Amino acid sequence: MQQDKYDAVVIGAGHNGLVAACYLQRAGLKVLVLERNSYIGGATTSISRYEDFTYSNCSYVYSLFRQEIARSLELYKYGLQVIPYEGGAQIIKNPDGTYDSMGTYWHEDAVRRDLERFSTRDANAFDRLSRDIYRQCDFIKPLLMRTPPDPTSFKPRDLMELLYLGKRFYGLGEERMLETIRFYTMSVGDYLNEYLENDALKSYMAGGATVGTALGVYSPGTAYILLHHAMGDIDGTVGAWGFARGGMGAVSKALNDSFLSSGGTVRVNAGVEKFIVERGKVKGMQLENGEIIDTKLVVSGMDLRRTFNAIDPNELPQWVVDRAKNFRFRGSSGKVNIALSGVPTFHGIPKNSPSMKGDLHISQNMDELELAYDDWKAGRWSKNPYLDILIPSLIDPTMTPEGKHWMSVFTQYCPYKLAEGEWNEQRKQAFGQHIVDCISAYSPDLKDKILHMEIRTPKDIEDETGLTEGNIFQGELTMDQLMFNRPIPGYAQYRSPISGLYMCGSSTHPGGGVMGAPGANAAREVMLDLGKRIKS
């Protein structure tokens, strides 16, 4: 049979692969996307495994996706709707055994009033803290959609880009320059201690800075991760988070529809086994079913480990093979999706409070979070984990039957490798039960309302999405793995040592999260090599 000829093949229908595919197709190439799973989206999917219940299988909340990409790929036309949180709360257990909660979201005046109940000093300091975090975001945001320069190169483009970086940095002024250097190297715990006194508020802020990372709140470098949770926006509200209506699969679906409508082709159940490389150039690939697909241009949305595992190491310089091996994944996150017969109550949160319509947190202080990390180091799931608890169906009723709800629980820390042995069904159930027990300590009627539950350990996340060790960002977001270091110094510009093989997944700059930037940046580099500019 005559094989269809494609100008480019994108590996993986994760959201970044789809973004890259959309741009390449719209730039005039004939593009094929090959996806190993029977469904698209990778870690950005909505899945129905139980009748009438749809879960955001992995990623569950929206903010980071670059507006410019959503607009240029017409995602709103293809059905994407984003609904902001309406609440959020940090639950507080008082020393006398009573409970309270600190509203964290719905309006900055409301947040301030609530903070003042606990600490006037923190209510004032919180404004300063938010200002300083958003200033750091202002510095980094324009870099998200740019290709990092190679600092060792004398090519005019790299020099221009270094100059741009330098100008932005010096433009901060002396005080903020020094502050920025400190910020990037500090632990989130030390950073927050400089501003705040209230334990619960600090733990609320700090927990988010360990997400997806096998580091603790007192590990240097974690302050930066605060930005990954603050540099998004919804409808121009900076730092806001929300839900994609229908779950995060709505993002992938809109991308897929945008791609198909511009003439692209997607094949699911089409896992790539290995790349075919001749004399340093990619010639095609062999699928897991043995099928050979010829192409001179491949864009891999798989993570670095998987991309390099598909290349014969003899085709790669040894130092690159070693660097790729040393790129850190270290899965540390788990997820539990729970179907509920009704809305559970929480101690400290009044019934029908808007706080329920956002993220709920129960960690009481940063020491507790640090101890949770100690458990990970010892190969155990955390006794008192960081939990990000949401009931999306309170805002988006399309995902559950009427009157019923689903709860998304993201948890940190859960090891990829357990000290006691391999993950098995019994250990997985014990982990899920432990998470339910932890929430139940604050939600007395939760257990009565559980209809069924899906538990994801890092091993499950790896098996389902291909994210190595279940690392949610396709590799940790630490300074040694960011910007011109991501994924490998010398190969941070979406190209690989193999001519014609590019990378577009979250292992590349600017990293993980449902952001789309790696996919868009990679497509721009591909087209530059083809002598064409695209606007993203």
Ligand X SMILES: Cc1cc2nc3c(=O)[nH]c(=O)nc-3n(C[C@H](O)[C@H](O)[C@H](O)COP(=O)(O)OP(=O)(O)OC[C@H]3O[C@@H](n4cnc5c(N)ncnc54)[C@H](O)[C@@H]3O)c2cc1C
Quick count: other Cβ atoms within 10 Å of Cβ 258? 25
How many residues in the shown chain lie near ligand X by CB under 6 A?
Answer: 39
**Inter-CA distances, 355 with 102, 120, 125, 349, 441, Å:** 9, 21, 22, 7, 18
- How far, in Å, CA of 223 to CA of 89, rounded? 21
271 near ligand X, judged by CB under 6 A:
yes
Burial class (CB in 10 A: 0-12, 13-18, 19+), 117: exposed
12 near ligand X, judged by CB under 6 A:
yes
User: What totals of helices (H) and strands (E) does the chain contain, helices first?
Assistant: 17, 21
217 near ligand X, judged by CB under 6 A:
no
506 near ligand X, judged by CB under 6 A:
yes
Which CB atom, from 64 or from 215, has the smaller least distance to ligand X? 64
Which CB atom, from 94 or from 289, has the smaller least distance to ligand X? 289
Contact with ligand X (CB under 6 A) among 91, 201, 234, 272: 272
Residue 296 has which token pair?
């001179």
Which CB atom, from 82 or from 133, has the smaller least distance to ligand X? 82
43 near ligand X, judged by CB under 6 A:
yes
**Inter-CA distances, 163 with 83, 160, 170, 319, 491, Å:** 39, 5, 10, 29, 20
136 near ligand X, judged by CB under 6 A:
no
Q: Which residues of 471-509 are buried (b: 16+ CB within 10 A; e: fewer)?
A: bbbbbbbbeebbbbbbbbebbbbbbbbbebbbbbbbbbb
262 near ligand X, judged by CB under 6 A:
no
Which CB atom, from 262 or from 337, has the smaller least distance to ligand X? 337
335 near ligand X, judged by CB under 6 A:
yes
23 near ligand X, judged by CB under 6 A:
no
354 near ligand X, judged by CB under 6 A:
no
- How far, in Å, CA of 201 to CA of 217, rounded? 14
CB contact at 8 A, 500 and 525? no
Least distance from C-beta 372 to ligand X, angstroms?
17
Which CB atom, from 196 or from 282, has the smaller least distance to ligand X? 282
Report residue 60: phi and psi, to 5°: -135, -15
Q: Are strands 31-34 and 265-267 parallel, antiparallel or unpaired?
A: parallel
Contact with ligand X (CB under 6 A) among 84, 207, 246, 466: 466
Contact with ligand X (CB under 6 A) among 25, 46, 54, 59: 59
Q: If we measure between CA atoms, which residue out of 236, 266, 232 comes closest to residue 252?
A: 266
Least distance from C-beta 212 to ligand X, angstroms?
7
- How far, in Å, CA of 150 to CA of 494, rounded? 12
12: which residues sit within 8 A by CB, 6+ positions away?
A: 33, 34, 35, 36, 42, 300, 301, 302, 466, 505
| Selected range binding ligand X among 52-60, 104-112, 318-326, 523-531, rule: CB under 6 A | 52-60
Residue of closest CB approach to ligand X: 14
58 near ligand X, judged by CB under 6 A:
yes
| Selected range binding ligand X among 155-163, 300-308, 344-352, 363-371, rule: CB under 6 A | 300-308
80 near ligand X, judged by CB under 6 A:
no
Which CB atom, from 92 or from 293, has the smaller least distance to ligand X? 293
500: which residues sit within 8 A by CB, 6+ positions away?
A: 281, 282, 296, 297, 298
Contact with ligand X (CB under 6 A) among 410, 416, 431, 502: 410
Which CB atom, from 305 or from 449, has the smaller least distance to ligand X? 305
Least distance from C-beta 272 to ligand X, angstroms?
4
Whether the upstream peptide bond of residue 518 has omega within 30° of 0, thus cis, is no
For ligand X, the binding residues (CB under 6 A) are 11-17, 34-37, 42-44, 58-61, 64, 271-272, 301-302, 306, 333, 335, 410, 461, 465-467, 472-474, 505-506, 512-514
